[in-house]
Amino acid sequence: MGPDRLLEPLITAADRALKAISGGASASRPSPAEHLRAELSETERRQAAALMRVNHAGEIAAQALYHGQALAARGKATRALLLEAAQEESDHLAWCEARLRELGSRASRLSPLWYAGSFAIGALAAAFGDRTSLAFVAETERQVERHLDEHLGRLPPGDERSRAIVRSMRADEARHASTAHSAGAARLPAPVQALMRQTARVMTHTAYWL
């Protein structure tokens, strides 16, 4: 394999990273918030913006995780599954970016850190084999589902635009977890699951403010 063939995956990975963290995500599906309204007080607007910033940070991390896993995946079928999931996460990212702009807010200032850390975790998971990599997908999506359920309870009742986005994201995450299981995901040890929860907690609490 020539140098160009070796560099191509790395160049592609770098391009995906730049698009994810620079606000250049594009959606292949229309936003679930289209044609919906949101009547918010200033306090509600700030609350919704902080929660959607956390969701945006989570989608940055999801993009990076799948990109890292796809880069190191051993099987073509696993790589295709991961890249398909990453494309749907890109939709989520674009929807969250648009909603943050509508709310007069911004993405987390630590987006490059979330991406770099998650990419490294994804590549490390893939190094243990495709079944372990798929297990990370399944466990990550289970945790994200719980996180999004919590946000549906915390978003202002009148913010139908944000709520529609979160509901659609949740449906996709549940399907990603189910697909990973069907593709042969292993079961992660309990300490690894606990570490993933703690890592996610640090990210979400930090992204809420930063």
**Does residue 14 lie within any of the structural domains?**
no
Q: Is-contact 131 185, C-beta < 8 A?
A: yes
Higher pLDDT, 41 or 24: 41
- The CATH code of the domain that includes 133 is 1.20.1260.10
DSSP H helices in 73-189 = 76-102, 111-127, 130-154, 160-182
Split into its structural domains, the chain has a count of 1
**Does residue 23 lie within any of the structural domains?**
no
Strands (E), 18-64: none
Averaged pLDDT, 142-166: 93
**Does residue 2 lie within any of the structural domains?**
no
**Does residue 11 lie within any of the structural domains?**
no
d(CA 69, CA 81): 10
**Does residue 130 lie within any of the structural domains?**
yes
Q: Is-contact 200 139, C-beta < 8 A?
A: no
Structure tokens given for 176: 């990603």
d(CA 207, CA 49): 11
Instruction: Provide the domain limits for residue 158.
Output: 44-209
Residues 6+ apart with CB under 8 A from 203: 57, 58, 61, 114
Q: How confident is the model at residue 2, as a pLDDT? A: 47
**Does residue 3 lie within any of the structural domains?**
no
Least confident of 11-15, 32-36, 103-107, 131-135: 11-15
End-to-end CA distance of the chain: 43
pTM: 0.87
Q: Tell whether the model's pLDDT for residue 44 goes beyond 80.
A: yes
Q: pLDDT > 90: what percent of the chain?
A: 46
**Does residue 114 lie within any of the structural domains?**
yes
**Does residue 34 lie within any of the structural domains?**
no
DSSP state of 177: H
